[in-house]
């Protein structure tokens, strides 16, 4: 085991996969000479050469579209979208092409590829460097959407994503990149894409979350245990599509209280689907009303610190209060 | 060449009749495009090169090896439709065994795929070429620009073929672009652009063979523009009387690619009217028989509607 930041874990896993399999390609804006704006591919150009580490034109639809072509011809491309906020020109390629290729050909063609995209706010990124985009894509059958938020999950799930026979949208929360450190296995272990993960066990209430909010929830849960003796079970959804409903429901049935926390604006967000799943299938296991906490329904995260802070609510303090209220309901 | 041009025409006529009889909800006509399709598809090597067609490319997929019966399995959306098992609309081609890449309905999305496939071929030093076909309307799309630009930067082995029939459904080329020739745009990407008369199958063949040779020689992509015309509406759901005159359509029929090629063959003494008629009868019988077997083939099983979302459920 080695302690790494989340971004280092991603970089190392990507490096290992490229070193092990010459079908794995990296393409995107600034991934070559610059090594990626977050330094994920620093040194890759020198090691793997410009045929495999491709500085593309500034054209997101082509980054994804060309990667689809590579995948159709037997390569394993990893397409990097510099910021998730810029992925929208590629929506058609992702949704109409990559996600539907297997289905529309009755299983004849497949599209094994990864689209990496740094997402999320809290880094002074304003409207166009802070977005949560997962809900747009989690709605699309045929596409896997993941957002691992610990270094071990990020490394293990990236390895799985690259080896997956289907397209995976791999979302990396920027606020986690250097803030979150953790032990990562040195043996190249994979983490399967599918299962959610109970990051903290507890019997009093269940919090289902993902992304940077996972870490806020864990912090609030730890304080609540210390202060009040309330044990919160924190479930990291980590794979949003397909969603592991069984792990979520098993936890809710155990604790009888459920809260869903996500950073994206609340309405129609991924948390809405999680809340609907709990309401639909575990209603009679609940001893208190379901709580859903999401971002405000404003177009995007503003720049000025007080405005950004207002969007990034709930802070752990508020999560703490809401968890306490739910536990005592 | 003549055989496949005629076959495409006869399938087209039969498919439209099936549509009018209520047996095929949707068909995409090809008549008028046979010269440029068969001509540009001809230099492609079966089993080696990769085909990235668009929905009007019946002639292209016939050259690639799709049979008339397989075409009708698609038209009747049968379980055995090789393109999609009846999932996509007819004429949305795809056939992995033949190297035909699946495409969708959004226009020009296949162009970056062609660039990516060609990139993979070059990366592995494969002696293979991608042929990518589209209409002139596609050239207005961002994906078209992005795909050509990427292909040109990396000098990958792909030939882009524009079947310019003057109309994107109803919108005339005059409202699609301010230039006369799509091929003139090639210069902006740093690749050769060639204009060729689409009703001249041999001219199309020569242009493609040259571009194909360039691609194989590592000299990068070429943009070929075939000036062509479609005789029938955009699809069976279109009414082309609303945007072009019958006189205009009839005028173009005087430059029919099949008649032109027959004239050439007879003029050179390579065939005669009797043999042409006999080929016509033979192909007509083949089309009728293919149509009948396809019509009698089983429909897709609704119980399988959830299959092939992910590889896990391919089994």
**Structural domain boundaries in chain A:** 2-184, 197-328
Shortest CB distance from A73 goes to which of B84, B120, B310? Answer: B120
Shortest CB distance from B113 goes to which of A65, A102, A242? Answer: A65
CA end-to-end span of chain B, whole Å?
A: 40
Annotated catalytic residues of A are: 129
What is the fold, at CATH topology level, of the domain defined by A2-184?
Rossmann fold (3.40.50)
Distance CA B43, CA B48 (A): 11
Q: For chain B, list residues whose CB is within 8 angstroms of any CB belonging to chain A.
A: 50, 81-85, 87-88, 92, 94-96, 101-102, 104, 106, 109, 111-121, 123, 142-143, 146-147, 149-150, 153, 307-311, 314
Q: What percent of chain A has pLDDT over 70?
A: 100
Q: Which residues of chain B have pLDDT under 50?
A: none
Concatenated DSSP letters of B4-37: HHHHHHHHHHHHHHHHHTTS-S-----TT-HHHH
Q: What is the pLDDT of residue A171?
A: 98
| Closest residue on chain B to A74 (Cα) | B120
Same fold, A2-184 and A197-328: yes
Q: What is the 3-state secondary structure (H, E, C) of B121-183?
A: HHHCCCCCCEEEEEECHHHHCHHHHHHHHHHHHHCCCEEEEEEECCEECCEEHHHCCCCCCHH
pLDDT tens profile A65-106? 999 999 999 999 999 999 999 999 999 999 999 999 999 999
Q: Retrieve residue A48's tokens.
A: 């793997």
pLDDT band of residue A129 (cuts 50, 70, 90) is very high
Q: Do B150 and A97 touch (CB under 8 A)?
A: no
Q: Do B149 and A65 touch (CB under 8 A)?
A: no
* Interface with chain B: mutation pick from A106, A111, A163, highest number of B CBs within 10 Å: A106
- CA dihedral (B266, B272, B276, B277) in degrees, to 10, reads 140
Residue A77 at interface with chain B, using a CB cutoff of 8 Å: yes
Distance CA B29, CA B13 (A): 8
Closest listed residue to residue B77, CA positions, set B5, B19, B13, B37: B19
pLDDT tens profile A156-172? 999 999 999 999 999 99
Q: What is the pLDDT of residue B315?
A: 57
Q: What is the pLDDT of residue A273?
A: 98
Is ipTM strictly over 0.90? yes
Distance CA B251, CA B256 (A): 10
Does position A315 have pLDDT exceeding 80, yes or no?
no
pLDDT tens profile A203-229? 999 999 999 999 999 999 999 999 999
0.90 surpassed by pTM: yes
* Interface with chain B: mutation pick from A25, A60, A69, A113, highest number of B CBs within 10 Å: A69
CA A213 to the chain's CA centroid: 11
Which phi and psi angles does B223 have, rounded to 5°? -110, 115
Residues 6+ apart with CB under 8 A from A227: none
**Side-chain-side CA neighbours of residue A328 (13 Å):** 9
The SS3 assignment for A205 reads: strand
Q: What is the pLDDT of residue A268?
A: 97
Q: What is the pLDDT of residue A316?
A: 76
What CATH code is assigned to A197-328? 3.40.50.920
Does position A257 have pLDDT exceeding 70, yes or no?
yes
Is-contact B11 B60, C-beta < 8 A? no
Closest listed residue to residue A98, CA positions, set A131, A72, A76: A72
| Closest residue on chain A to B50 (Cα) | A73
Q: What is the DSSP secondary structure assignment for residue A95, as one 8-state letter?
A: I
Would you say the C-alpha torsion A148, A149, A151, A152 has a positive or negative sign? negative
Phi-psi region of A124 (alpha: psi -120 to 50; beta: other; left: phi over 0): left
């Amino acid at each position: 085991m080695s302690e790494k930041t989340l971004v280092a874990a991603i970089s190392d896993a990507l490096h290992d996969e490229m070193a092990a399999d010459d079908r794995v390609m990296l393409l995107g804006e600034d991934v070559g000479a610059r090594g990626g704006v977050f330094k994920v591919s620093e040194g890759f150009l020198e090691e793997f050469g410009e045929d495999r580490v491709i500085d593309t034109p500034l054209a997101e639809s082509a980054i994804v579209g060309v990667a689809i072509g590579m995948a159709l011809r037997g390569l394993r491309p990893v397409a990097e979208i510099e910021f998730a906020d810029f992925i929208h020109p590629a929506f058609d390629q992702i949704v109409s092409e990559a996600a539907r290729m297997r289905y529309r050909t009755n299983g004849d063609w497949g599209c094994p590829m990864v689209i990496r995209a740094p997402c999320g706010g809290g880094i002074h990124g304003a409207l166009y460097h802070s977005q949560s985009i997962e809900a747009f894509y989690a709605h699309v059958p045929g596409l896997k959407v993941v957002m691992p938020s610990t270094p071990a999950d990020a490394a293990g799930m990236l390895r799985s994503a690259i080896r997956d026979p289907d397209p995976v949208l791999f979302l990396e929360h920027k606020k986690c990149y250097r803030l979150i450190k953790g032990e990562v296995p040195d043996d190249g272990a994979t983490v399967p894409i599918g299962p959610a993960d109970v990051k903290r066990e507890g019997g009093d209430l269940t919090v289902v979350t993902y992304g940077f909010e996972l870490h806020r929830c864990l912090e609030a849960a730890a304080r609540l245990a210390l202060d009040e003796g309330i044990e919160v079970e924190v479930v990291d959804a980590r794979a949003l599509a397909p969603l592991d409903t069984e792990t979520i429901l098993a936890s809710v049935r155990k604790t009888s209280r459920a809260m869903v926390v996500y950073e994206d604006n609340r309405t129609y967000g991924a948390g809405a689907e999680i809340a609907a799943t709990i309401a639909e299938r575990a209603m009679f296991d609940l001893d208190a009303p379901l709580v859903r906490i999401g971002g405000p329904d404003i177009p995007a995260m503003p720049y000025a610190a007080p405005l950004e802070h207002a969007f990034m609510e709930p802070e752990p303090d508020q999560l703490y209060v809401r968890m306490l209220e739910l536990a005592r309901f | 060449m003549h055989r496949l041009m005629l076959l495409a025409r006869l399938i087209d006529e039969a498919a439209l009749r099936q549509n009018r009889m209520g047996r095929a909800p949707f068909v995409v006509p090809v008549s008028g495009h046979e010269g440029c399709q068969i001509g540009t598809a001809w230099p492609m090597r079966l089993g080696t090169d990769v085909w990235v067609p668009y929905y009007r490319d019946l002639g292209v997929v016939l050259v690639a090896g799709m049979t008339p019966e397989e075409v009708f399995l698609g038209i009747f959306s049968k379980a055995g439709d090789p393109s999609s098992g009846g999932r996509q609309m007819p004429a949305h081609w795809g056939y992995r065994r033949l190297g035909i890449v699946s495409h969708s309905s959004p226009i020009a999305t296949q162009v970056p795929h062609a660039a990516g496939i060609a990139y993979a071929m070059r990366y592995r030093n494969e002696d293979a070429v991608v042929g990518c076909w589209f209409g002139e309307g596609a050239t207005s799309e961002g994906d078209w620009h992005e795909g050509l630009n990427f292909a040109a930067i990396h000098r990958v082995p792909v030939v882009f073929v524009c079947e310019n029939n003057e109309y994107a459904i109803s919108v005339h080329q005059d409202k699609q672009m301010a230039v006369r020739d799509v091929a003139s745009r090639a210069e902006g990407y740093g690749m050769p652009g060639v204009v060729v008369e689409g009703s001249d199958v041999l001219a199309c063949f020569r242009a493609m063979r040259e571009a194909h040779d360039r691609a194989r020689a590592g000299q990068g992509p070429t943009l070929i523009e075939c000036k062509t015309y479609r005789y029938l509406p955009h699809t069976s759901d279109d009414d082309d009387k609303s945007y072009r005159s019958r006189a205009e359509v009839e005028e173009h029929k005087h430059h029919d690619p099949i008649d032109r090629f027959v004239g050439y063959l007879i003029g050179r003494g390579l065939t005669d009217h009797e043999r042409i008629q006999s080929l016509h009868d033979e192909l007509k019988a083949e089309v009728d028989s293919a149509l009948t077997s396809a019509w009698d083939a089983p429909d897709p099983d609704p119980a399988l509607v959830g299959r092939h979302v992910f590889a896990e459920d391919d089994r």
